Every structure is written in structure tokens, then in C-alpha cells.
Chains A and B, each alone.
Chain A
Amino acid sequence: MLDFLFTGWGAFWMMLVMVVPFGLMFYYVIYRKSVVDSGPSPTPRSKLSRLEGYWLSAAFVIFVGVNLASLKFMPLIAAANASTSGEPLQEISLTATSWAYDISNRQIEAGKPVRFSGKALDTQHGFAVYHPDGRLLFTMLMMPGLTKSTTVIHTFKDPGTYKVRCLEYCGIAHHAMADELTVVKSN
């Protein structure tokens, strides 16, 4: 379930989890207190204060819970996990210039972690890898003039053709800045 939560559509569901209760409260409080009966409510202040405590605690728990759950998906942790897995890293270095990529290797073995290291040579560019089913797996932001390469470590599960797109606006042919990676079965 966590694997789904930290995907694009998982984010959409999380947004709904936060917004739908708000919407219901909004409808309940504002509709009731303006259309149905706008008279003052006799609810004692102490009860409201208690409710305030519950509400803020719930918000706090959700916020802490979600951010703790996401730790495993954070790049630093992912990198640490990959380096302790014993599998050798497949290294791919790339440079981005308006409007094309220079990629050291476009053939990848499934199941083995890959480290992408990228640099932008003229202006800012992105390097986003899409699963053959259209899902965005990850994106990288590369800024010119930096000494360190931007890196992401990713392990591909499924063989197939993966689209690469630039997701950082880089001028009038930005949408044409694309490439492909091929993931093959591990031998």
C-alpha cells in the first residue's frame, strides 16, 4: 500500500483524504449555520476547546505519520539501501543541452539498481523517466554551473521501453526534448 501511496495517483488520494473531511465540515457547519438555522449554538466553550485539541492532534498525527512513512522513499535512504544490497550499481551518466540528452548507456538490466548522474550544460533541464504504462517513475532537476551531478538511484522491475522527458521548462522546443531507455531481462 505504501508503494502505491507515494506514486502520482497515491498523491491524488492523499489530497482527497485531506480535503474531503474539510469539505464535509464546511458543508455541515456553513450550510447549517447560514441556511438551516443561523441562530447562535449553545455548544459550551469548553466542549469546543476539547474539540480543538482533538482536531489539532489528528492533524499532527497525520502529518507526522505520512512523513515518517515516506522516509523509505527518500533518495538518501534509497541510495543507502542500494549500496547495502550487495548488487553492483549500473552507472549511467548523462548531460542535457537544449534540446537533447547525451546518455552514456541506454541499455539497462532489470532488477539491478542503476545510478543516474546528470548535468545540465546550458540552462536548467529535467530528466524524467516514464514506465512503459505511462507512469512517471522519477524526475531529476539539473542546473548549469553546479560541480556535483544530480543523482537518482532506481531499480527497474519490468523490461520494456521507457520514455525520458525534460520536465524543467527550457525554451520553445522544451516538449521535443525526449529520449528512450531500454530495460532488458537480467541474464
Chain B
Amino acid sequence: MSIASTIVQNTPIFGKMFSVDKSTGLEEINAWPALMIMASFVWLAVAGLLGLVMPATQLFALDTSWFYMTLTLHGAALSFPFGFQLMVGVGLHRSGGCVGKPVTGWLPALTFITMNLGAALLTVAVLMGLSVSAVVFYPLPLVGAKMGVWSMSSVVLGFTGIYLVLASMILAYPILVIKMMFFGKKREDLVLSERTLNDPGMLGMILASLTLLIAGAPLVVVGTIVMGVLYGIVPASMVAWALEPVVFQYAFYIFAHNMMEAMALMITSAMYATLPLYLADGTRKLFSDKLANLALWVLLLTSITSFLHHFITMYPSQPAMLSYWGNIMSWGTGIGAAITIFSVFATIWQHGLRAEPGIIAVLMGWTLYILDGASAIITSNVAWAYVLHGTMWQSGHFMTVIFSMSLMWMGVFYHHYPVMTGRKLDPVLGAWFVRLASIGGIGAALVMLAGGSAGMPRRYAAWNQEGWMLYGNLLVIFGLIIAASFIVYAYSLMKSRDISSPVGRQVAAA
């Protein structure tokens, strides 16, 4: 028995929801993914609650340092050990079943350990006072330590945690996916639904892994140097260039922006794979594979350099030419989205849809993702950036992109759940989850975008001016609805029942 399934089985409360079915011979593609998915939901449970603490600190006028602490933990935990890890777990299970390769050995273990240990170290550092938000704002950690706002040991601990998380995302996971795609022997007994790399349902996986590896490379170099200096291995004077804020920031955003785009490629690909399985007439085909692949390529090529939109308001230190380039490339990703929109609607129009909770969750998550995409390209326009950068508009964008992709992965997981666990989920609870998540997600997104339009700053512990508290109050309401949706989802996993009919491969083929 795999060590991963042993851990899942022995985890209180959560173990019951995710324990894998050992009778099907598929444990090799199920065990590590199940452990990762379980861990992601543990992070969600903690970080989701912190999301509600944030507006609460403002409503009850608590010490502002609580706001910045929960802000940092909430953002970091939902982006990395929840959102990213959920994607890794479901994605690895999918890849294994599509190419017939086991998810075993030291790489999945390394991916899991670096992600969760790193996130745990960062959490401890934040609890020690390191409130630098999810995007680090280097050199803020060092400046804060110099000013005595937090300790140098919390900075060292926090950076170590971030470094481990990055190692998981930039190195371990992409290398694992590439290894599974291109190396090793295919095992027929693990093939659930075979896919080639030309399949839109698989192409995004590989494009995304390469993106993470390539776009993350500069940050690995700079991050390693910063670590070397922090631990006193490398003298700071020797590597002054790498410690320049501008170098760190550009390396950070080339990665951070493309990490989001990589996640978008993965989930779009997973949607292209899942949608055909729910077509009413049983066709199992997209409107056009070529068009679907084109959307992925457009998204990939335009997204790589669109990160420049993060620095538009730094003119002229970021030359106007580069800002305009980032502007146009960001809008180019919108063309990719327009192609995807057409593909999905045309496919459903032609063949009808079996509306089951899993696929509806995917489609509702995708709707939110389109809403988010619109908000993203608007704030990437040079003119709008000057009135939206640094406002709640961008928090709305960041939250919505993570939430929408997570909702889509939860839908895809819904689809794979019977194969992984040998149990089925109650469709009524599933439908309630989708309803609540959609209302909460769309509501929270619109409220935050409206707050940004009104000039409400993001990452800001003083909402009680200019009438901004209105948006704060509405956020609490929609936040509670989102929380309710997650509780319903967790409850449906708890209440899953054994599949009485034959399990395993027949189910996968159904």
C-alpha cells in the first residue's frame, strides 16, 4: 500500500472524504493525487475562514495588524497550497489515466512535501509577524526587519518557506508532468481514457508545465541568490545585482503572472477533456479540436509577455513601449478566450448537454473565469491601469481567477471522484454546491470590482472612509455564501456512498 494512501486513511475527518479505492488496481494513479487534494482542502478550510476574518477586523475596528496578517495568510494559502495543489492533484490523476503512467516515486513525494512544508513554514513566519502579502513586495521583508516591525528570523523562515513552495511549483511538479508525458513505458492497466498530446484535453497540460519551468527559471536564480545571502553562504556584495528590487520584481512577475496563465491553460485543457463526456447525444467530440488547440496556443503565446502590465504605472522606468506591449498582449489573451467561448458554446449547441453537477461546476467556474478575464484585460490597458492599479479591482481579479479555477477543478474532481474513491456523490448536494458557489463567487467578484471602480484601495486596513465600508459589508455576505458552498461540498464528500455496481474502469468509461 502506498504511503500516500496510508496518510489519507489515517487523517481525521478529511481522510474519510478522500480515501482511495484499492480494489481497482489504480492506486498508483490515485494515491498521491488523493493526498494532495486532501491537503489542499485542509488549507482551504483554514484559509477560507481567514478570508472572513479580514472584513471582520475592519467591521469591528480590531488592531490593523490582524488585517495584514490574515491578508497575507489568506492570499498565500489559497493561491499555493489550496489552488495550485488542487490543480496538481486532479491534474496528475488525469495525466496518469490519459497516458497510462503511474504517479509514484520520489517526484510526487517531493512535490507534495516542498509545497506543504514550505506553506507551513511561511505560515509560522507570518504568525511571527511577517506580513508581506502573498506577493512578497521585496524588499519590504528586509525593510520591515530593519525597522523592527518583524524579526529577521521571521524573514529567513518566510523566505525558506516561499523558496520550497516555488521549488514545488517551478521544478518538481513540471518535471514530474514532463517525465510522465515523454518518458517511461505506457502501462495499459492504468489507461482510463487515452489521449495524445495533440488532443486539446492534453495539450494544455504540457504547455502549462513548460511555461512554469521556463517562466520560473529567472525566479529560481534570483531566489537562490537571496537565500544564499540570507543564510550567509554568499556575501551580499558579490551579488548586489540580484538583490536590486527591480530585478526581483521582474523575475517574480514573469513567474507569478505566467503561473496564473499556466493554471488557466491546464484548466482550459481539463474542460476540453471533460465537456465531451457530458454531451447529451454521446458524441464525445468537441466542435473542433483544431479551434480548441488554437485557443490554447494563442493563450500561451500572448500570455508570456503580458506580465509587463504589472508595471505600467512605473512610467518611465518601465518604458512606454513595454507597457503598450504588455497592454496589447493582455488583450490578445482575450482573443484566445473568445475562441474558447465559441468552441464551448458551439459544442453544446450541436450536441446538447447532460447537466450533472460536475460539468455544471466546471461551466460556472468558467463563466467566472470569463468575467475575471474581462476585468483583467481592462486593468491591463495603459489608460485604465492608472485608475485601477492598487485598488480593490485587482484584488477582485486575483480572488476571482483563483476562485474560478478552483471551482472548475472541483467540478473536474467531481467527475473523477468515483474512479478515485469507489464512491459516488449525491447530485442534489452537488447542485446546491454549484448554486451557492456561483452566487457567492459572482457576487464577491462584482463587489470587489465595484469597490475598485470607486477608488477603494486594496491591501488596506482602513475601509471606513469615503463610503467604502458598503463594499466591505457586501463582501462579508458573499463570503459567507462562498463558505456555505464549500461546507456543502465537504458534506457531500463526507456522505459519499459506495458504488454498488462494478467499480473502476467501467465507471471511468461511463
Contacts and interface: CB of A to CB of B under 8 A. Distances in A.
Chain B binds chain A = yes
Interface of A: 6-12, 14-15, 18-19, 22-23, 25-26, 29-30, 33-35, 37-41, 43, 48, 51-52, 55-56, 59-60, 63, 66-67, 70-71, 73-76, 98, 122-124, 126, 128, 130, 134-146, 148, 150-152, 165, 167-176
B382 interface: yes
A126 to B, nearest CB: 5
Contact of A29 (B249, B345, B393, B458): B345
A107 to B, nearest CB: 23
A48 B379 contact: no
Interface stretch (B32-40, B81-89, B92-100, B139-147): B139-147
Nearest to B315: A75
Interface of B: 64-65, 68, 131-133, 137, 139-140, 143-144, 147, 149, 244-246, 249, 280-281, 283, 287, 291, 311, 313-317, 320, 324, 327-328, 331, 334-335, 338-339, 341-342, 345-346, 348-355, 363, 367, 370-371, 374-375, 378-379, 381-384, 386-391, 393, 449-450, 452-455, 457-462, 466-467
Contacts, number: 239
A40 B351 contact: yes
Contact of A143 (B317, B338, B370, B381): B317
A141 B391 CA distance: 12
Given A23-B367, A67-B328, A74-B324, A139 B449 contact: no
B464 to A, nearest CB: 10
A16 to B, nearest CB: 9
Nearest to A173: B64
B277 to A, nearest CB: 14
Contact of A37 (B68, B352, B462): B352
Nearest to A148: B317
B143 A122 contact: yes
A111 B8 CA distance: 67
Nearest to A73: B383
A151 B316 contact: yes
Given A70-B384, A124-B137, A175-B460, A134 B455 contact: yes
Nearest to A16: B374
| Closest A-B pairs by Cβ, 7 of them | A167-B390, A38-B352, A73-B383, A136-B455, A38-B280, A59-B338, A70-B383
22 contacts: A6-B383, A8-B387, A8-B455, A9-B453, A11-B379, A11-B452, A12-B450, A33-B280, A33-B349, A39-B352, A41-B350, A52-B342, A55-B338, A55-B341, A56-B335, A74-B320, A123-B139, A124-B245, A134-B454, A148-B317, A150-B315, A174-B68
Given A8-B452, A34-B354, A39 B281 contact: yes
Contact of B370 (A19, A29, A63): A19
Nearest to B72: A169
